[in-house]
Structure 1
Amino acid sequence: MRNRLVFSAFSAAAILAVVWPFLFGGQLAWRDMLVLDYPQMTASNFGGGDLFARNAPQDGFLSIIAVVMPATWVVKALMVASAVGAATGAWWLSNKELLPTLSAIALAVANPFVIERLLQGHWSVVIAAWLLPLIAAAALNGRALLVWLLVFVASLTPTGALVGITVALVCMNKHRLVTLGLGVLYLLPWAIPGIIATFRGGQDMNPLAAAQAFAPRAEEAVGTLGALLGLGGIWNADAVPDSRHLGFALFGLGVFACVLLGIRSVPKRPIVLALVGMGIAIFAWLAPAAMAWALEHIPGAGLLRDSQKLLILALPAYVAAIGRIPAKQTIAAACALGFIILQTPDASSSLAVLRGTHAQLVDPELVREIGSREVLFVDRDTLVTTDGRLAIDPYSKVVNKVESGQLTVDGEVVDIPSPRWQAAMTAWQNNDRKAVEELGIGVVVEDEEILYETAASTPKVPWILTSLWMLSPLIAALARAAILRNERQSNPTKSPEQNL
């Protein structure tokens, strides 16, 4: 009982240290994170639009939620709940001894992967990272329904869907076929629009530039391999706490050494997942030309171009190994806890930039005037500075914006502007108003003023796939009920609930 109170209090402190920026009001705007109170039902929010559906189903889900409550409330609640899930998964995977379990909780909640991804604005990827140890624990213990529901939450983002399904399938002993079927359902909101965009001829990238730009990055005193072993090494050096620029990443090697102490007690399947995730990240670092070839020739490989993201697969094994350091190795367990804290000692303060903003991010009158028509902003990029923050253009969440999608990293163009945006800009600059209308553009805006309007029809909003995704927990519950009924009929003396 005493240990449980300690675990609960420590978990609360660790969670609060990371999620505290989400406990304040305001809309979320930081780099790749843009969550408005009331996003609109636009085509791009549901996987349509000019770019690949990288933000489906999360943006469509938030648009639907915003009909009844501010979407920011839901995101902030999900962040807190997922962090609680991380602590719960760490406890479940550990040996329940005091110091190893505390270390596992600290690592699950506040590891460098989580902190760096938060600073990049990848809030939905962090939700998946927090849930992954719990998914693994539930799968290893045969809790199928819990696994299905957790993977559903993780599938807010394509990355979360893929890694959640992978961990579930690898770690489960039973019901893999049902898990796979539900997994396919979770993938539909972005997979189908992605396939359509591929055949339609969507946005292109510079494969070699993308492979080099998104490759894992070296950190001070440990290099690239050391950064990866410590669960760091994100491609953007600006999305890293200051302490890791001063050599504190060295403590990540201490964490890895402690992982090796407890790895013998970890089931083989999470270890295999860790090796796969770490292996892909190392491959992308060592062989950028080969990664570029894969990006150019293998459909869907673009999901792996930010290869450091694959370290997420190592989290269950790392957390379990730290949590299973033998009880007699007290010094090692104490060192593990110290190393985990010291590898990002300024994590909590560095996350202050995630606090919401109360600034007006869009002009509501302009949004009303644009309505559901497609709009060309001739002076707004994919990323804009608003309220002193560089973030995704807020107008892309509230109107049907013709999007460029151009991404430049260190002066090198990684993602080439979408063909439709290029055609629209060329037509506008050439004063070819007929071509603007033929491209489906109903409004042209500059400096938040409408310059020109056409009779172009409004785009259709592909809301069905996201709505089906939102119903998938009900389908999971029905699948559980069907399995229970079948098992009762075939084995009336057993209690199948214990296996689910």
Structure 2
Amino acid sequence: MAGPSTRVRVGTAAWSVLLAALALGPLLGALVPGGGHLLLRDAVTTPRSYLTDSALGLGEGAARAVPQDAVVATLSSVIDGGTLVVGILLLALAGAGIGAGAMIARLLDTTAAAPRVVAATVAIWNPYVAERLLQGHWSLLVGYAALPWTVVAAAALRRTVTVRGVAALVLCLGVAGLTPTGLLLNAVAAAVVVLAPGAPRRLPVGLVLAATALLSTPWSVPAFTSGAGAASDPAGVAAFAARAEPGLGTVGALAGLGGIWNADAVPSSRTTGWALVGTAALLAVAAAGVPALRRRRTPTVVAVTGLGLVAVLLTALAATPVGLDVGRWAADSVPGAGLLRDGQKWVALWMPGLALAAGAATLRFRWRAAVAATAIVVAALPDLAWGVGGALRPVHYPDDWARLAAAIGASERDVAVLPAGTFRQFAFSGDVPVLDPAPRWLDADVLQTGDLPVGGRLVSGEGDRARAVEQQLLSGRAPDPALGVGWVLLEVTSRGQVGRVDEAVAALDEVDVGPEFRLYRVPDAITPPPADRTAAVVAHLVWAGLTLAAAGIAASGALGSRRGRPGPR
């Protein structure tokens, strides 16, 4: 018979899964075979993707999507890529809630269900989650979801350093390390917790730094070996800075976990005066818990809440003229700074502190307060429900995409694509621009400039060779054979600039793959020398090996502790 604490954990988990499912809504249809794929702004899923050089971080651009792309490429060989990503997203959102509940139980030393449920609600149901879903940042949400778990693991290391404790922390950092930002967010949170006064610091801090260094190798190694960490366009600093919301200003938007740079990737309620009402309601719930936090103040609680407040302040400062100047200098002078250009994502560090305070508000009144607090948090952002107002829904690729992939096959020569730019608008995916799916559909490296249109301006990417090929095609010239382009692909159903491409492909061999595309083979292209993948592959294996080993140790330890518990008397 399950004890009270088990029932509380199960109840919190069930509530978290319910909220996560409600937030994803119609997108859950992609979990069913043939149910479609996620294709929204930066989120691109395909039935299968491949371990191309770009997937390993060896392209011209900064390695922003590693080891994410390599993981999806590997696992999509056995499970549909759309099902895989949507399943990960569901687990991540539910995990954020379950982790927030575990964090409040550990840090506030409570077994009550009400604080866990409220903390879980805040962790899942907030503008940060809604905006990142709309922007398509599914893998960033994995790192976000790991934050409360990382706090719990780091807090355990403050008491005693054990193999299981170290494994738990490495597991959290490894899972979060699906993207560079996720790893850095969690590494900062772990470091701040173990550095808080009142406990030995040297060994825990060393462990955090060592784990971070090893788990970052999928993107740090390519930055050193392939030039992928080159300087970025300074224009991206202002373009990707945090944005003020109606009635709130920048600080207010960030304090409410909002303020993403893309004004088109926000729920409707955040574009009206309800942004002020919703933020005030969310912060009021958290403020109600401040007295309880003060009574149960510990170094860890202070560290978690203090880190969140500092994250809000620094993110807001980064959007000021002085902050933008510093960011432009870094983008222009510091290799790899382009990985950090999206300033608002760092406000994720405020979520654990906000959830902690909101849950603490119910310590005294329990379920009466919990019901009220939960209702307020959900009502503050009503349009997160059902796939953020229906924006998240699976799409179905035309059959021509599969024919295209089969025609190109496993090509050692690169693919040049038009229309110009990295975003597309297809009738089958709606009016919202999406990243070109070709790099993930094809078993070949697709040249991409990385240029991004943001707020009426163009932020240049790092793809110089892709830009040179694109300009040749637009000006009516066939690709230079020395550039290693073996294919020219025109995605004819997407709007965009194609220039004089008809002149450029006039002498090339056309391959019929259906009305969605015009595909041309470049017969005299020189096959480029293969990239040396050794270091990148080893780096990915280091990340995967550490993460899986940590998962095994943590799981065996958890099972052992359960078996060792005495039965009911």
Partner of 1:13: 18
- CA–CA separation in structure 1 for the residues paired with 2:133 and 2:394: 13
TM-score, normalised relative to structure 1: 0.87
SS of the residue 2:425 aligns to: strand
1:383-412 residue CA offsets vs partner (Å, 9 max, x unmatched): 112313421111111231111111121221
Partner of 2:417: 377
1:353-395 residue CA offsets vs partner (Å, 9 max, x unmatched): 2222222376333323333220112435301123134211111
- Structure of greater relative contact order (alpha carbons < 8 Å, 6+ residues apart): 1
- CA–CA separation in structure 2 for the residues paired with 1:273 and 1:412: 33
SS of the residue 1:354 aligns to: coil
| Maintained 8 Å contact 2:38/2:86 | no
SS of the residue 1:408 aligns to: strand
- CA–CA separation in structure 1 for the residues paired with 2:314 and 2:129: 19
| Maintained 8 Å contact 2:13/2:94 | no
CA deviation after TM superposition for structure 1 residue 279, in Å: 2.4
Partner of 2:237: 211
CA deviation after TM superposition for structure 1 residue 469, in Å: 2.2
- CA–CA separation in structure 1 for the residues paired with 2:167 and 2:521: 54
Partner of 2:73: 63
Partner of 2:269: 243
Partner of 1:360: 398
Pair 474,118 (structure 1): closer, same or farther in 2 beyond 3 Å: closer
Pair 149,226 (structure 1): closer, same or farther in 2 beyond 3 Å: same
CA deviation after TM superposition for structure 1 residue 239, in Å: 0.9
Residue 417 (structure 2) pairs with residue 391 (structure 1): no
Amino acid at match of 1:171: V
Residue 484 (structure 2) pairs with residue 410 (structure 1): no
CA deviation after TM superposition for structure 1 residue 6, in Å: 4.9
Stretches of structure 1 that go unaligned for 5 or more consecutive residues are 484-496
Matches within 5 A, 1:294-309: 294-309=330-345
**Partner of residue 116 from structure 2, selected from 101, 124, 132:** 101
Residue 282 (structure 2) pairs with residue 255 (structure 1): yes
Amino acid at match of 1:179: V
- CA–CA separation in structure 2 for the residues paired with 1:324 and 1:277: 21
1:225-272 residue CA offsets vs partner (Å, 9 max, x unmatched): 211111111111111111122222222123223323334346122123
**Partner of residue 143 from structure 2, selected from 111, 114, 128:** 128
Matches within 5 A, 1:244-283: 244-249=270-275, 250-260=277-287, 261-262=289-290, 263-264=293-294, 265=296, 267-283=301-317
| Maintained 8 Å contact 2:67/2:540 | yes
Residue 52 (structure 2) pairs with residue 51 (structure 1): no
Partner of 1:444: 488
**Partner of residue 134 from structure 2, selected from 89, 101, 119:** 119
**Partner of residue 97 from structure 2, selected from 84, 87, 104:** 87
- CA–CA separation in structure 1 for the residues paired with 2:424 and 2:231: 20
SS of the residue 1:53 aligns to: coil
- CA–CA separation in structure 2 for the residues paired with 1:388 and 1:357: 6
SS of the residue 2:403 aligns to: helix
Stretches of structure 2 that go unaligned for 5 or more consecutive residues are 31-35, 105-109, 158-164, 195-200, 491-516, 558-563
- CA–CA separation in structure 1 for the residues paired with 2:9 and 2:551: 31
Partner of 1:422: 467
Pair 257,380 (structure 1): closer, same or farther in 2 beyond 3 Å: same
- CA–CA separation in structure 2 for the residues paired with 1:324 and 1:302: 38
Work out the percentage of aligned pairs sharing the same amino acid: 30
CA deviation after TM superposition for structure 1 residue 280, in Å: 2.2
CA deviation after TM superposition for structure 1 residue 337, in Å: 2.5
**Partner of residue 526 from structure 2, selected from 445, 449, 456:** 456
Partner of 1:321: 357
Residue 39 (structure 2) pairs with residue 29 (structure 1): yes
- CA–CA separation in structure 1 for the residues paired with 2:362 and 2:232: 51
1:407-449 residue CA offsets vs partner (Å, 9 max, x unmatched): 121221222562212222344456765x722122222233432
Question: Over aligned residue pairs, what C-alpha RMSD do you find?
Answer: 2.9
| Maintained 8 Å contact 1:280/1:310 | no
| Maintained 8 Å contact 1:37/1:72 | yes
Amino acid at match of 1:437: P
Amino acid at match of 1:184: A
- CA–CA separation in structure 2 for the residues paired with 1:473 and 1:339: 38
Residue 203 (structure 2) pairs with residue 169 (structure 1): no
Partner of 2:373: 336
| Maintained 8 Å contact 1:241/1:350 | no
| Maintained 8 Å contact 1:248/1:342 | no
- CA–CA separation in structure 2 for the residues paired with 1:201 and 1:104: 38
Pair 234,361 (structure 1): closer, same or farther in 2 beyond 3 Å: farther
Amino acid at match of 1:340: V
Partner of 1:489: none
SS of the residue 1:272 aligns to: helix
| Maintained 8 Å contact 1:377/1:401 | yes
